[in-house]
Structure 1
Amino acid sequence: MERFVQRTDLAAESRELAMSGKADDVEGTRFEEGQDHEVKYQKLEVFNEAGQNAIGKPIGTYYTAEIASVLRRESETFTDTVGAVSALIKNLLGETKGEGCTLVVGLGNRDITPDVIGPLCTESVLVTRHLKEHAPKDFEFLSPVAAISPGVLGTSGIESADYIKWVCDNLKPERVIAIDALAARNLDRLCRTVQITDTGITPGSGVGNSRSAINKDVLGVPVIAIGIPTVVDIRSLLVDMGDGKVSEKAASTNDMIVTPRNIDSEVVCASRVVAYAINLALHEGLTVEDIDMMVG
């Protein structure tokens, strides 16, 4: 039997692993919990190198919100959930939210269902940059927003980070919001959790296929990363069932992942929550009903 380190993109799960067997919180971090309507959330701050090494995540702030109640799109639940997630996004936008353009980036492969979260989100993001440029008075109540979905290296031949950097150099946005599918270690989190962080993102890291990082150091502007877990590495499941150990045969299954059988409908619902939350965070004064009319 060998010991296997479970893979996860979620800072909350990384903290749980780091906390295993400890009475005190992880050094270099601060953790708190809250609730907005039916949405429970956790806030994890990693504020020094000790915390970064313990958690295995960059220094910054991480929100993890539970959105399980919205899988059935009942109007009131959906509205409350979108509002709660939007409030967390606003917390991280903070002082970066000015009059400049926001570039929303939907990362992922449209042809792979668990990886389609990012592209689906961009379809429901209210794109307004061109409207603001051509008729500023008519659309003064909206913020300038542009959206792209750069695809993946295997289908475009271009690293997502390079593509986004080129767009940023020409568009000169004030901030970037990057959306991607994530990997979790717990099945209960799949399509039921949203992570929001100001540290940027490294696409593919949770499934052992890391690409170039997309963060402030690379792009030169603040990057808010929003992710929804859609897969679990099969060995992470086996570890949970085997007291932290996996057999030699199980350890060799390094290319297998698990995803819900109804993932096609769940990614649509979860991505809609995130897209609407982004719209509310960027366009002050709009309601969910307004967004429904504008993006359908």
Structure 2
Amino acid sequence: MKHIYTDLAVESKEIYNPEKKKEIEGVSVEVADEKNYSVTTVKVLNQKGSQKIRKPLGTYVTIDVPNLDKTDEDLKDEISIAFAKELKALIKEYKKNKILIIGLGNWNISSDSLGPKVIDKVLVTRQYFINYNKEFDETMANVAAISPGVMGLTGIETFDIVKGIVDKIQPDILIAVDALSSRKMDRISTTIQISDVGISPGSGVGNTRAGLTKETLGLPVIAIGIPTVVNAATMVNDTMDLIIHSMKEQAEIGSEFYSLLEGLSKEDKYKLIEEVLSPFMGNVIVTPKDIDVLIDDLSIIVANGLNIAIHPGIDIADVNRYIR
């Protein structure tokens, strides 16, 4: 059976639980609704749950903000604070005196440049700790950050670069930021996912590289991502659902046909659509036309949230005044 590409755990749960009424064994879900956003926490508790939604054991926090792609400064600040709160909660059990932040992706491709642009805005402090021979500071964490690029630019696997840095500077925790793939257009640039299971760069578009995980690097790895692309076949699949529903309601004759189409599973519809599209479009990835502006805004939100979460003495006023 063809797997529908998505990096979001909340979407994997939706795919394998379309009626959204019956919980999947081995997966727990909690939803908290706020005025401008909602927070969904998906926990994959055992191997059965992992196999069902095709995600590793761990916690996945998804912040859905319908208007996140709008240029509203107050909303950006609100989501930066909300994101920082969720990140703090996820890393609170870990030692984090020394933090390494990795911005994954290709800075030459707009839809894949989220990670590098976040790195440009995070507050890096490791040099001060070295220069002043400090081990700890009450207001700042010891933070190093780098964008390692992609193999097509460097000729080196991202994992090899990151592993070399980890072995050299020995951080307590690694935070990786990357652009993700979604299976719903309305989640593009409006959803932030945080997880404690690490990340496999390129997995959402079928180009999986060596994973950055606790098992491979020997330290906790927190992954942060925002969907910036969607597979063309999944976009057509969602459009087809809307058309079928509309035509079924309006059709006086042939409603049984539309009911039959409506009864197809998402995987079967996806496979059918992909087979139809493949001679003409191949494996096409779609992104919004204003992705440059969106990435700039989203990188500010993520960087501000990171700075607030990892530096005890920094708040939203500080990042707006000095860092943005």
Tell me if both proteins adopt one fold, taking TM over 0.5 as the criterion. yes
Deviation at 1:125, TM superposition (A): 0.5
| Alignment match, 2:251 | none
**Distance change >3 Å, CA 49–CA 139, structure 1 → 2:** closer
Q: What letter is aligned with 2:174?
A: V
| Alignment match, 1:92 | 90
| Pick aligned residue for 1:288 from 316, 320, 324 | 316
**Distance change >3 Å, CA 188–CA 22, structure 1 → 2:** closer
Task: Give the Cα–Cα distance (whole angstroms) in 2 for the partners of residues 36 and 82 of structure 1.
Answer: 14
Q: What letter is aligned with 2:117?
A: L
1:129 is aligned to 2:156: no
What SS does the corresponding residue of 2:5 show, helix, strand or coil?
coil
Aligned length: 293
Unaligned 5+ segments in structure 1 are: none
1:107-146 paired onto structure 2 within 5 Å = 107-135=104-132, 136=134, 140-146=138-144
Deviation at 1:81, TM superposition (A): 1.0
| Alignment match, 2:74 | 76
- Percent identity between matched residues is 38
Q: Indicate conservation of the 8 Å contact 1:131/1:139, yes or no.
A: no
**Distance change >3 Å, CA 51–CA 137, structure 1 → 2:** closer
TM-score with structure 1 setting the length: 0.93
Q: What letter is aligned with 1:105?
A: I
Task: Give the Cα–Cα distance (whole angstroms) in 2 for the partners of residues 21 and 68 of structure 1.
Answer: 22
**Distance change >3 Å, CA 22–CA 224, structure 1 → 2:** closer
1:261 is aligned to 2:289: yes
Q: What letter is aligned with 1:13?
A: E
Task: Give the Cα–Cα distance (whole angstroms) in 2 for the partners of residues 46 and 137 of structure 1.
Answer: 36
Q: Indicate conservation of the 8 Å contact 2:6/2:12, yes or no.
A: yes
**Distance change >3 Å, CA 249–CA 76, structure 1 → 2:** closer
List per-residue Cα deviations over 1:29-67 (Å, max 9, x = no partner): 100101356231100000100000001000000001023
The two structures, once aligned, show a CA RMSD in angstroms of 1.9
| Alignment match, 1:238 | 236
Task: Give the Cα–Cα distance (whole angstroms) in 1 for the partners of residues 113 and 26 of structure 2.
Answer: 34
**Distance change >3 Å, CA 75–CA 53, structure 1 → 2:** same
Q: Indicate conservation of the 8 Å contact 2:136/2:142, yes or no.
A: no
| Alignment match, 1:179 | 177
| Alignment match, 1:41 | 39
Q: Indicate conservation of the 8 Å contact 1:9/1:205, yes or no.
A: yes
1:250 is aligned to 2:248: no
Q: Specify the structure having the higher radius of gyration (Cα).
A: 2
What SS does the corresponding residue of 1:127 show, helix, strand or coil?
coil
Q: Which moved more, 1:69-78 or 1:153-162?
A: 69-78
| Pick aligned residue for 2:48 from 38, 47, 50 | 50
Unaligned 5+ segments in structure 2 are: 241-261
What SS does the corresponding residue of 1:69 show, helix, strand or coil?
coil
List per-residue Cα deviations over 1:187-214 (Å, max 9, x = no partner): 0011110000000001111111111101
Deviation at 1:295, TM superposition (A): 2.2
Higher strand share goes to which structure? 1
What SS does the corresponding residue of 2:107 show, helix, strand or coil?
coil
